[in-house]
């Protein structure tokens, strides 16, 4: 029986592509990079910003740091509030909470920004903890957020078998494997079925409401 539920944020709880894509376009424009294909900018959803600027645009460390500043300039002003909650998310969290489960957000989004999103979405009171890295941290592994979330929920290593990580990308699943907890890949987010199947989650679901039945 699972008693500790950890949720990714972008692509799992909130449909964050709108604000993130607009923020990415704004940042790239500052470097003279014009991107017409909005779909390609979904690569900014999930991984740390620093990593995305470096891997996909060949930025130097200094350029990546500046890119992060530009991205957050727009995101803090406008983008952060353009992330609607996916259907049935709130009802699912309420059911889990009513069943006595402990819930946490474990995200690579910096904690101050994650806090704003969760509060704006109306989900804040449903979580026992919201875990994200500090703003100044460049490269973030999801493993650290999962471990911190488990600790915040009071789930020691002996209770890892009672924990479940829910996410839409391979980063969520890989980190869950690394920590040694079960995982759920959700198909409605930003990762493809192929990506999730290759990562090998314990379960794959089409709708977040299916998590309650696990």
Active site positions, annotated: 8, 10
Helix (H) or strand (E) holding 104: strand 102-106
Euclidean distance between CA atoms 116 and 139, whole angstroms: 21
Count CA atoms within 13 Å of residue 55 on its CB side: 9
Is 105 within 8 Å of 125 (Cβ atoms)?
A: no
Length of the chain: 214
Angle at the Cα of 4 from the Cα atoms of 6 and 7, rounded to 5 degrees: 10
- Give the contacts of 87 (CB within 8 A, at least 6 positions apart): none
Helix (H) / strand (E) containing 185: strand 182-186
């Amino acid at each position: 029986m699972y008693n500790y539920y950890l949720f990714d944020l972008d692509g799992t709880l909130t449909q964050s592509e709108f604000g993130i894509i607009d923020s990415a376009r704004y940042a790239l424009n500052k470097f003279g990079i014009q991107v017409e294909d909005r779909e390609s900018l979904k690569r900014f959803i999930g991984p740390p910003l620093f990593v995305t600027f470096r891997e996909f645009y060949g930025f130097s460390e200094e350029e990546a740091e500046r890119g992060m500043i530009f991205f957050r300039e727009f995101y803090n002003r406008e983008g952060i509030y353009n992330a609607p909650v996916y259907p049935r998310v709130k009802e699912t969290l309420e059911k889990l909470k009513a069943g006595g489960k402990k819930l946490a957000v474990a995200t690579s989004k910096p904690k101050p920004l994650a806090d704003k999103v969760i509060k704006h979405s109306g989900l804040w009171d449903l979580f026992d903890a919201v875990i994200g890295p500090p703003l100044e941290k460049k490269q973030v592994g999801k493993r650290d957020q999962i471990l911190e979330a488990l600790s915040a929920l009071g789930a020691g290593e002996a209770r890892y078998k009672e924990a479940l990580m829910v996410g839409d990308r391979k980063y969520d699943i890989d980190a869950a494997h690394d920590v040694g907890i079960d995982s759920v890949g959700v198909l409605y987010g930003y990762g493809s079925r192929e990506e999730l199947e290759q990562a090998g989650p314990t379960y794959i679901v089409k709708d977040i409401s299916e998590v309650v039945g696990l």
